[in-house]
Amino acid sequence: MERTYVRSTVENRLAVVTIDNPKVNALNDRVVDELAEVFGELETLSEIGVGILTGAGEKAFVAGADIRGFEKFIGNRQAAVDSSRRMQALFSKIENSRLVVIAAINGLALGGGCELAVACDLRVAGDNVLIGVPEVKLGLIPGAGGTQRLARLLGKGRAKYMVLTGEFLNAREAFQWGLVDRVVPAEDVLSEAKRIAARILGNAPLAVEAGKRAINRGLEMSLEDGLALEAELEGDLFLTSDLAEGTKAFLEKRTADFRRK
């Protein structure tokens, strides 16, 4: 597919994926398809360990879905369900990716943009950010996973506040609620995301992947089942060459040379 709205660059095991759909990087069918294609390709590149997802320009990360496309769904229930499931599938692909995905939120993150950010593993926000799910103001609810992921991330009460009021949070409020993990000056969002990525990329890749998998899958299980999963993943890591290298490097007081093996 020739890409119009999504571009990606790769350097030193880090991929930066940029949504570029002027003026506010709105999500439409083509953006969704191109994002799915990019993340599908990155998943197969074992040398890539972290992806940063951001929006082009200074105004918006993603300011929601393209409302001009809603007309074709009004009165057509199944088409609306299919569209919701399609976007949910993309966000689940990002959430469950082998890569650690960092949202570099560089402006408005509204509706689908908020839902997309919440599907990422970590969120770095500029101090100019407004984030929220205002769909109720249109007569809708978040339909790309927002009702489910916000409740898991923030708890039922705060998720209901966001979904039912449709109010926006500023960067400080989003940080206090745990919706974003870091707040930095707007001009430093991408560099801060890259700094965090470098810290992650310095660790053993298979251990990072196992840690993400243990948390994501464990949250859908009972505590006992989650503990069993954790132990199994730990056992798997004791069979890796990277663990042997990591412990040897620690004892020799040098930087480990991890090979994802």
Catalytic amino acids?
115, 135
Instruction: Copy the structure tokens of residue 135.
Output: 């769909």
Q: Which helix (H) or strand (E) holds 30?
A: helix 29-44
In whole angstroms, give the CA distance from residue 193 to residue 105: 9
Return the exposure string of 211-237: e unless at least 16 CB atoms fall within 10 Å of the residue's CB, then b: bbebeeebeeeeeeebeebbeebeeeb
What's the CA gap between 53 and 55, in Å, rounded? 7
The string of DSSP letters for 76-98 reads -HHHHHHHHHHHHHHHHHHHT-S
If you ran DSSP here, which 8-state letter would residue 134 be given? -
Q: Provide the CA 128 distance to its chain's centre, in angstroms.
A: 19
- How far, in whole angstroms, is CA 233 from its chain's centroid? 23
Q: How far apart are CA 20 and CA 3, in angstroms?
A: 10
CB count within 10 Å of CB 131 equals 26
Neighbouring residues of 153: CB distance < 8 A, sequence distance ≥ 6 = 118, 159, 178, 179
